[in-house]
Amino acid sequence: MKKILLLIGFLIGWMHPYCQTDTTAVRKSPWKASLTLGLNYNLTKLNNPPVGYGINQAGGNILLNIALKYGKPKSFFNNTIDWRFGLLRLGSGPLEAGSSQRLPYQKTLDRLKVTSMYGYRVARDSSVALLTGFDLFSQVTPSFKDANGALPGQFVRDIRNSSEENPIQSRFFSPTHLLAYVGIGYEPIPNLFIGFAPAAYKAILVLDENVASLVGRVDAEGLPEATVHGNPVDIVNGAPVFKKAFNQFGSYLLLIYNDDYWKKRISVSSTLDLYANYLENFGKIDVWWRSQLNLNIVKGLSLSYLVDLFYDYDILVALTDDDVPGGFTGELGRKVALERQFMLQYKVSF
């Protein structure tokens, strides 16, 4: 928790110099900044409840979004940091009979997205611009599974203090998806932006050795043929060699739509990222679609529904099945990942 608070403090401190206003200045600053905080919290605490009342629970999700934008007739520079994190504990008491450890919080969500885009228009106030930028996608906190397999889900610490088996599943920058591109941008209408980059570099980085060696699939001989996070694995002299980087080169398409409806009571934002790797599996398109519907209650405060859709042929995901206990089959596969959240958000603009 201390690390999380330090991160929030750092991000706010990073934005602070750009949020200063000079009351003596006559010209309007080309810089604009905004801070959005989202919260979804639930708590039920029962002491000696009647039979059938329920069970103790505590948890929730937070959203932190910092945007810093620069705009002039000839150029624009947009930067965003978006972090979503969630924890949940169902029940109370010790982890198991005779244990000194308390029942842990399960990790429900951890996603960090950093974007930066610079555009230089071909003419003053033109709808066409030369474009360059980068995206970074990772996690902030580590993820561990239960080494005994008794509890499903992910945890921010090793709940068994395992000595023989390392239950680590992911950590900061393991994995990380990095995208850098050069192309052209077009804004046919004020609410729609289209970017296309025929030259785009993408990398899947798994810097932690233990995380990089997580096996997702094996062949008929029992040798690894795919890792969990998409980093390559080679078989050398009958033994697997796990690489920490998967470098790609391809093309990138970006679509951004933002608009307000019903006298700005309702706002919609949607971003679609499409990437195709020239070097391998060109027909397998990586997709990331992020959409948000806001019902504005008062100025700055909104009720929001967020939907994220993700697909990457190189990434194996936990397969969902609502007919099995816990909702997951325990197997990994290539499927579309879908994330949905419902929360209150408060936005401050500078």
Give the residue-averaged pLDDT of 305-323: 92
pLDDT of 219 above 50? yes
d(CA 63, CA 66): 10
At residue 21, the pLDDT reads 47
- Using alpha carbons, list the distances in angstroms from residue 339 to 276, 291, 304, 308, 330: 23, 10, 14, 5, 19
| 3 state SS of 6 | helix
Report pTM. Answer: 0.86
Instruction: Give me the chain's average pLDDT, please.
Output: 89
For the chain, give the percent of residues with pLDDT over 70: 91
Q: Name which residue leads in pLDDT, 192 or 15.
A: 192
Domain parsing of the chain, residue ranges: 28-349
pLDDT of 10 above 70? no
User: Over the range 240-265, which residues count as b (16 or more CB within 10 Å of their CB) and which as e?
Assistant: eebebebebebbbbbebeeeeeeeee
Residue 343 CB neighbours (<10 A): 20
**Worst-scoring range by mean pLDDT, 45-54, 130-139, 170-179?**
45-54
Q: Name which residue leads in pLDDT, 149 or 9.
A: 149
pLDDT tens per residue, range 159-207: 887 765 678 999 999 999 999 999 999 999 999 999 999 999 999 999 9
Please give the backbone phi and psi of residue 4, each rounded to the nearest 5 degrees, phi first: -65, -45
Residue 40 CB neighbours (<10 A): 18
Beta-strand pair 106-121/128-138? antiparallel
Q: Give the residue carrying structure tokens 């042929």.
A: 313
Q: Which neighbouring-strand residues pair with 77?
A: 70, 118
Assign 17 a pLDDT band (cuts: 50, 70, 90).
Answer: low
Give the residue-averaged pLDDT of 285-304: 95
At residue 163, the pLDDT reads 60
